[in-house]
Every structure is written in structure tokens, then in C-alpha cells.
Chain A
């Protein structure tokens, strides 16, 4: 079975400071990993993905994520947070060799960037 854990319901960070939103996963075999962002009353927007290759993935709006196979983690990072980054962030996973099974999403982490 596939699963995703986002251990923090809420992350608070001051504007200009680095931010990290944590994600750990469980799949059989190699994973596809995704981060999405959601603003109030809107759908999810794609931020970045990991499939294969370089463990550091760069995405939209200056976000990046580091894939760590030994720790089964895919933490989202940004060097300098903006107030406009305040939103709900979701990590998602599916196994690389699972056919077309649906993505499994974490419960989300609310990021609050304080000016």
C-alpha cells in the first residue's frame, strides 16, 4: 500500500527566513513524488515532481525539494519565504511500477509566513 505522512499540520516562518515542509512516504519500489499548493477555495496547483535523476528538484516560485531514498523523505524547501507563500501544501506519491493507480495525498501542511 502507498502512503504519505506530513507530520506538521502547521508551519510558521518569518518572511525572509528559509522554510521547510516535511513529507515522508511509503511505497513498494521506486516512487513518483509530487508537491502541490492550494490557495483558499481553489484547486491544487502543481509545484514540482521527482521521478528519477537528481535528488534535488527545482520547481515553481523558487521552491525545491530533496528526495532522500534512505529516509523515504521528500521535504519541500525555499531559501527565503514570502508572505505570498502562505497556503496549504500537499505531498503526493505513487509507485513507479504500480500501473495507473491514483496518487495518494498527505493531509496537508498549512504554511504561514509572517511579515
Chain B
């Protein structure tokens, strides 16, 4: 079955450590997105990519980095510069042809906790 796989489901980070969250899709979708979810704040866009080797900053990109070397993969690195990284991270994708018709397909999320 096609879908989006996020791993790991739970991740613990020590202070000053970089961690990478994986997002892989086999839907042949062009665009991929990373959102951060905090209680009461909804979904906030971190980065998105519409084509391989290109990506754009979202509303809260500081302290995060991404790459898009393959169409299927869009990993997110939470760097030590992100001062409050504890949150639930969601990856999503959509085809760019008639994107409004499809909305987004979401992964199951990664819960990151700073210890």
C-alpha cells in the first residue's frame, strides 16, 4: 500500500545534540512538507519542497534543516540551535498536479523529547 512512513515514532534528544527525523513516501508525490505540532498551536510549517534539490522555509524554519536528494525522501534535522524542540513532528505530501483536489497525505508523526 502507498503511504508516508515517518521514523522513529519516538525520539529523545540530549541538549546540544542534532537529530534527524526520517520521512519517506511511495506515492510518487512531488511536494513534501514538515509541520510542527504543539498543544493549542495547531500545525506550523517548518520547511517544504516541491522538487528534488529545492526547498523553501516555512514560518518557523530557524533551528531546522532539510534536504531533498530523492523524490521519495525529505529528512528533517533538528539542530542544537532549536532551543525548544520538544514537539510532535508531522510530514505530509501531495502531488502538484491539481494539488487542491488531493489535499495532503500525512505520516503518523514523530514525537521528539529533549532529555
Contacts and interface: CB of A to CB of B under 8 A. Distances in A.
Interface residues on B, range: 20 to 34
A103 interface: yes
Contacts of B99: 100
Interface string A86-107: 0000101010100010110111
A9 interface: yes
What is the interface of chain B mostly: helix, strand, loop, or mixed? strand
B42 A42 contact: no
Given A41-B111, A90-B42, A107-B42, A100 B31 contact: yes
Interface of A: 9, 32, 34, 36, 41-46, 49, 51, 90, 92, 94, 96, 100, 102-103, 105-108
15 contacts: A32-B103, A34-B103, A41-B88, A41-B109, A43-B4, A43-B6, A43-B92, A44-B90, A46-B103, A51-B101, A90-B42, A96-B100, A102-B45, A105-B43, A108-B42
